[in-house]
Structure 1
């Protein structure tokens, strides 16, 4: 009996204490007696507010201590982010909503959309009946077809839509409209539904000051899926539109995120206002657009990030458990407070942790964990996939286990600190190697070995890594001590490495030799402590991480062969002009009349060909241009003239060789001794050309570091040609053996590819080639009754260079100008053969037209030249 009385006394005392702490009501008004046990002030200096108080000092209570309300941006929305995923329903305000409003076309529903609605019923959701037989049933009010559509789409995996509704504009309503509260009747809709309560200016106020705001239709029975937003125009439709804007921003920031998770983020990041927690007036809280963009604040589900996508969560995440799925990347920028007794699981893709992480982590075989300088993992880490440490101070509070088949990636200069024990399963099982240590380095590695601790274990290390991997151009080895794992790295000799590749060619070997010359100079500068080479060292580090196999685009792009090979095109341009002038001079020896005063001729030139040499990139060439000349006969046998020419040449090389365009303006003096009545002749030209060259090419250091070099240089070409021969005639047929000599000098200007550390820099260079030639020419003339005459001719010429000119030159990389090397490319041919054919038609004594084809065939260069033109005698 005494015991019962004692219990009754205790219960009574508890009831009294509880009643003393109730202070206030959900409907409004300040508490008469604040509750000391739950101090949640607006700022540290403000008075304590009771847990059930909705208003304090005539303003709605804000229950987040450091939340700052801004009247100029009350919902904290970043208006610079827009989304096409937001669709207004209905598209025409005031019209009834139908199933068709949610369709792309007839019978084809929209998916992955955010539907924001601009009105609902004026009656409250509780005014309708759940009895479907009742004329006032919710189903009858919505419409059977539309109701079925909502249920089907929300519960369909393919739907993945979000439905946002205004609660209504009636201040006296304790519940929202039927549409906003529809999950009250159909519970399955809640996961895709958001009801929005509007905060609007009180009558007689403007400016959206916090103290001047009041709610319109309340959350009521829909409080679990309700959020409150400030309405700039005083309607709940505008409030709903603000929520939809934030949902659209989340859709854009987190590509591929399910609408259900977008909904959860919006609701969970809301600022608690009014009564503590979810309440009947405001629902879960006030929309906070800025915080929502930081991702969720609570996770207890699978996070599926699609392949090639990256999501970054910056909010503090409390409680729950994380399961990372999908092939994409999830970055946890902020600290997390996951339940310590439940391990985070990485079953796919990448989890990048940049702060504190309270739980342990299990890395699945398809998962990757990245730790950084500020990473601190509270429990054990078990690795069956990949752990990549890129931070100097990453800490695992428990043990680290590298199971067989796993990879541990460690950067030189970083150190993973394990407070417990490191356990390495290095045994071979089922013909598969044990765990692997992959040593990484983002800095340039010299030939001199560098040793650093990559893992440190306070309680010791058990086992060893079966396999050690490094980047392709880096040597590496690992050794264990009692409490640490140390890695030693040094660079390989690039020239030796490429020379030992089974299918590397001459261009790649020469590039590797040039890179090695530069790396040796860089090693020397680093040893001397020279800071001026830091930019070049950074670029060199990117190159070291690249694959320099024979299929590597990096080696091909670094060759710079275009600057050597393209000079062959400049020589080719000069030869094209030579051929046209040579044909015109032969024409002068064929014409019956060259003009009493002077002759004027105009030619159009078109040519195409190839620059090709084993072991180098191949270039396709095109030349277009024209030439105009004027000449005069002096005496019986001498003709002298001058010509102006312009041609544009283009060459495109494969294998990342680049492209070159050059415009060549030239002036020539030419002459011929001997006419069609004099069998012995001599003819020749001297010319000067001015070439404007443009070169564009890619410089590839890695898949993410590709720069385009664009340079211009001005060159000069000096040309000479002399030919003599003897015409053997029989009737209208002429056979002519001839010999000659030609010379070309090309003066290439200096250039510097400054926009890349591995761009080329070279001084000016002069190239010369002198050649002897011999050939035969045959022609047949036809005289017509109308007085015109046509001459058809053909020839074969063989030309042999009297000197070797390989077009190579000395250069350096722009970031390290002291390391000189030789750049090679397609050289000039020692021997070449020309064949040609043409027709000359003397229509009248004063007018003629002509057409010629000249073709060059040799191992390195192929050129096909077509010329056509007219001559007028005066």
Structure 2
């Protein structure tokens, strides 16, 4: 549905900061959201639910923003990812630069996040963003690959990524994690996460797919380590139409303050989100993993609209502009509410400190 273009400010801005209380954004005057609401856009049903076309109309497409994808790898030769990699990344399973994807999970997440807008199939929410893929462990529990995950995060950061999509989590309830226990499970990753959050990075995690009222370890980690919260987002999955939490997602629970709700698809024929499979064919995916990828891509698209802001400021703006009406006022389930990219691209971010 079209949303009217709203100019955020008519003043000329000569610096990255606020002048006369208004932040400049690289909008596209006269461009209506309907221009972006193509068959390719509607094929990935989550985009309309979060009002992505309004963000595109204002200039937020992910241009010049890099996201690190820590997953089961990615086949960069697929057409949907042509031009989408800023670096080949690294395969910690085969110990070599570049990645393959035997499982297909990483490719599916990459499609949700940044598949090309090329009039074929579907496109990612941040179709102009760049990816750095990392492969670890395939189907096994992440804690077996602590060192590989830590190295992926650090390498991604060193290569320019400040947003990290982690569509995985250890199967330990967040309510059972404290600093000492997590330091036993993931010591290397914890050390790198602390360092990178202090340096401005943002980590995105799914709440998990166990139909529980609390998230898993990683999405809830700031409960045990509050200093991580400023660089953390937990993601709960909704049905494809955004009408309610899906049939597998954990609630936000103790992570409510840094948790957001987006479509993640649901079980059943044609109930998932359309994405790209490892063979290059389009397929349905469902769960909190694609929901997390949708949020990582939204952060990248919003970052490209507000290049003056740091990633953690973009994160807070995204959380502050959610839809909290109706069912989304239930913070236990939906945290800060339903992601709303029309509001996030229309409402000027709060004051920044020079």
Bin of the TM-score, shorter chain as denominator length: 0.5 to 0.7
Q: Which of 183, 188, 198 is the equivalent residue of 1:145?
A: 188
What is the deviation of 1:221?
0.6
Greater Rg by CA = 1
Q: Which of 48, 51, 55 is the equivalent residue of 1:76?
A: 51
What is the deviation of 1:123?
2.7
* Distance in 2 between residues matched to 1:282 and 1:289, nearest whole Å: 16
Question: What is aligned with 1:177?
Answer: 216
- Higher strand proportion (structure 1 or 2): 1
Q: Runs ≥4 in structure 1, deviation > 3 angstroms?
A: 93-97, 108-112, 211-215, 273-278
Measured against aligned partners, the alpha-carbon deviations of 1:372-416 in whole angstroms (never above 9, x if no partner) come to xxxxxxxxxxxxxxxxxxxxxxxxxxxxxxxxxxxxxxxxxxxxx
Question: What is aligned with 1:433?
Answer: none
Q: How does 1:42-61 map to 2 (within 5 A)?
A: none
Question: What is aligned with 1:374?
Answer: none
Any unmatched runs of 5+ in structure 2? Answer: 1-44, 72-133, 139-144, 265-272, 274-284
Question: What is aligned with 1:120?
Answer: 169
Question: What is aligned with 1:261?
Answer: 313
What is the deviation of 1:168?
0.7
Aligned residues of 1:266 and 1:287 also touching (Cα < 8 A): yes
Q: How does 1:76-225 map to 2 (within 5 A)?
A: 76-78=51-53, 81-83=61-63, 84-90=65-71, 91-92=134-135, 94-95=137-138, 96=145, 97-104=148-155, 109-110=158-159, 113-128=162-177, 130=178, 132=180, 137-141=181-185, 143-155=186-198, 159-171=199-211, 173-200=212-239, 208=241, 210=243, 213=246, 216-225=249-258
Aligned residues of 1:71 and 1:210 also touching (Cα < 8 A): no
* Distance in 2 between residues matched to 1:116 and 1:287, nearest whole Å: 17
Task: Normalising by structure 1, report the TM-score.
Answer: 0.23
- Higher helix proportion (structure 1 or 2): 2
- Aligned-residue Cα RMSD (Å) equals 2.8
| Structure number with higher relative contact order (C-alpha < 8 Å, ≥ 6 residues apart) | 2
Q: Flag the 1:151–1:75 CA change in 2: closer, same or farther, 3 A.
A: same
What is the number of residues matched between the two proteins? 215
* Distance in 1 between residues matched to 2:245 and 2:261, nearest whole Å: 16
* Distance in 2 between residues matched to 1:303 and 1:209, nearest whole Å: 32
Question: What is aligned with 1:292?
Answer: 344
* Distance in 1 between residues matched to 2:136 and 2:50, nearest whole Å: 24
* Distance in 2 between residues matched to 1:269 and 1:88, nearest whole Å: 25
Q: How does 1:702-713 map to 2 (within 5 A)?
A: none
Q: How does 1:475-624 map to 2 (within 5 A)?
A: none
Q: How does 1:368-447 map to 2 (within 5 A)?
A: none
* Distance in 2 between residues matched to 1:275 and 1:209, nearest whole Å: 11
Any unmatched runs of 5+ in structure 1? Answer: 1-69, 202-207, 305-324, 326-874
Task: Normalising by structure 2, report the TM-score.
Answer: 0.55
Aligned residues of 2:219 and 2:234 also touching (Cα < 8 A): yes
Measured against aligned partners, the alpha-carbon deviations of 1:670-698 in whole angstroms (never above 9, x if no partner) come to xxxxxxxxxxxxxxxxxxxxxxxxxxxxx
Q: Flag the 1:72–1:244 CA change in 2: closer, same or farther, 3 A.
A: closer
Q: Flag the 1:219–1:246 CA change in 2: closer, same or farther, 3 A.
A: same
What is the deviation of 1:94?
4.6
* Distance in 2 between residues matched to 1:219 and 1:226, nearest whole Å: 6
What is the deviation of 1:270?
0.8
* Distance in 1 between residues matched to 2:344 and 2:332, nearest whole Å: 22
What is the deviation of 1:296?
4.4
What is the deviation of 1:103?
3.0
* Distance in 1 between residues matched to 2:203 and 2:46, nearest whole Å: 27
